Structure 1
Amino acid sequence: MKFLLRIVSVILLVFVLPTLVSAGLWATREHPSGWSSAKWGSSGLLPSAQDSPEAAIYVFSAMTGGLKGAIASHAWIVTKTKDGAYQRYDKVGWGAPIRRNHRAPDAFWYSNPPRLVVELKGPEAERLIPKVEAAIEAYPYGQPGGYRIYPGPNSNTFVAHVLRQVPDLGAVLPPDAVGRDYLGEGTFYALDSDGRDLHVSLGGLAGFSVGMRSGLEVNFLGLVAGVDLARPALKVPGFGAVGL
């Protein structure tokens, strides 16, 4: 009984309390009244393709809308070949399986500004773009209906899949990317293609990740707590990565 009480206490302290605090802070801020009143245009974060001719890869994340915006974000991928145009890829729950260029590459998401998860430019981006596009094509839930907001597969499941398949991008999604730890029906573990990060998950509801990019993470009901070793930070549910 004492052991069970300790587990419950840890869950309350590590996962529930920070989430409630984050939700309380979220409630004090102003938010769009609905989808139609939110900002969805360019944030101005990226230069025009004409002003930046070199090849580039970006992964963005932005907090989402509604009450889930207190703890959850939405991620997407942007590529640009040398002298080419930006190509944005999102997995969403409506329309085409994987939406392409349905918004500006650096657009607000439900009035929330995009956060840069990773950026690569020049020859390295040019080398990796075919691998990124192959990983996008191979995403196992890219068909119509291959979307479930919780625990996945959702937009973050899609981007996390690409990051695992192309580890040279050198990134993992932020802790508030709910759905990133969903590995698929009947899949309980995944090893990044370079073998440097291991992910274990019970249907996206509980598990852990450990490795060069992940650091040490424990996920519970989509919430993530842990330590980032490469970029020293604590991963706090509801708050994301808090730099040390």
Structure 2
Amino acid sequence: MKEGPDIALIGSLIGDPARANMLTALMGGRALTATELATHAGITLQTASSHLAKLEAGGLLTQRKQGRHRYYALSEDEVGLMLESIMGFAASRGLTRHQPGPKDPALRKARVCYNHLAGDYGVRMLDSLVAARQIEITGDDLALTDAGQIRIEALGIDYAALKKSRRPICRTCLDWSERRSHLAGSLGEALLTLFIDKGWAKREQNSRAIRFTDSGEKAFSELFPQ
């Protein structure tokens, strides 16, 4: 391709198995060290450093230094959205890298997608908000309605702060396991933070899976009925 965006460069960055594994590890939303990412990728630290430099140069990663360590994270929301979409496309074509294991049901039920809730619960939440006319869908765009604003403020979410952010308040993200959209954007992040802060849900150790407590299951069902 001689004109337009260079998708070949992005494809080559993501297409390497080691780099793909490191990017997937960062989909959990946590910043990780080069050593941690090397372990996820199954490569040496020296090789990982070379891969990380390429991903950073390509605009997919950002790093920050804290003490003696350097931490890497996805550079922005768009990177997470792109990766989730690619995962969904691969899943729809039956392109999986492993046999289903014990963690798969938990990941499919509820998981972190960079900074928001994904899986069955993520899709259910968006569907419920749309059904209640608190979010409107226009094509691929989402908009929070006046009723939706009242609803999230009643939950204790600062709508004014969301509005001041440069990020979209609501946006769709194609769910790789459900193959339908879940809620991303600053509202999606705020809702996941709310669930965790209230003790309704928590992250499983060394996993992207989100585990809801019994009281959290009840509260979620009441807030977002099917």
Per the normalisation by structure 1, the TM-score is 0.26
Per the normalisation by structure 2, the TM-score is 0.28
Q: Counting helix residues as a fraction of each chain, which structure ranks higher?
A: 2
Q: Counting strand residues as a fraction of each chain, which structure ranks higher?
A: 1
